[in-house]
Amino acid sequence: MYVCICKAVTDREIRKAAARGADNLYELRETLGVASGCGGCADHAQEILDEASARRSGPVTYIPTPA
């Protein structure tokens, strides 16, 4: 399902970003463009990110990617 219409970002893409280590809306905005247009998707995107983060088990290691 599309979460961010402005940037055509789906819930699946947000979950994949969370699996790769994204843990806040700022990271989603930087990587996927979520909430960088009208901002109407910010709350829903955060909910999906929170759900995905809660499902991860064990320690989370953040590995930054090159710019």
The CATH number assigned to the domain holding 30 equals 1.10.10.1100
Domain assignment present for 67: no
Mean pLDDT of 43-58: 84
Query: With 80 as the cut, is the pLDDT of residue 47 above it?
Result: yes
Number of helices (H), then strands (E), in the chain? 3, 2
Domain assignment present for 63: no
Domain assignment present for 65: no
Domain assignment present for 30: yes
Q: What is the pLDDT of residues 7-29, one digit of tens each?
A: 999 999 999 999 999 989 999 99
Domain assignment present for 21: yes
Structural domain that includes position 14: 2-55
- Under the banding of pLDDT at 50, 70 and 90, the label for residue 61 is low
* Dist CA 40 CA 43 (whole Å): 7
* Dist CA 9 CA 33 (whole Å): 8
Query: What does pTM read for this prediction?
Result: 0.78
pLDDT > 70: percent of the chain: 87
pLDDT confidence of residue 1? 95
Number of domains observed in the structure of the chain: 1
Could you tell me where the beta strands, DSSP code E, fall in the chain? 2-4, 9-10
| Cα-Cα-Cα-Cα dihedral sign, residues 8, 2, 66, 22 | positive
